[in-house]
Amino acid sequence: SFRDRFNLKNLFIVANILTYYTRGRNIIFGCDPISPIELKAPYEYIAIARLLGLPMDKAYAVVTQNVIDAIAHGERRRYESS
């Protein structure tokens, strides 16, 4: 959350650790807006991913392919367990 300085600092610390250990693979960004004005545009997420050191292709995947893959994986698991 960008509302609090403490949370913002922790967000970047944890995100840096996450990108280091996952090598930038399979990362999905999201937000928890209180009002519509706090919604983030896809290019804002790409910019944040670039700040974290991800190359452009992986930063772009944060808002496109990774989300599609996660939804497809969940759907496959749901139908396999039925």
Q: How far apart are CA 34 and CA 36, in angstroms?
A: 7
- Structure token digits, residue 81: 């367990």
Whole-prediction pTM value?
Answer: 0.58
- How much is the pLDDT for 54? 81
Share of the chain above pLDDT 70, in %: 72
Average of per-residue pLDDT across 14-33: 72
- How much is the pLDDT for 72? 85
Give whole-number Cα distances, 42 to 39, 51, 61, in Å: 10, 14, 11
Share of the chain above pLDDT 90, in %: 0
Give whole-number Cα distances, 72 to 23, 27, 58, in Å: 22, 15, 19
Q: How far apart are CA 80 and CA 6, in angstroms?
A: 42
Other C-beta atoms lying within 10 Å of the C-beta of residue 52:
19
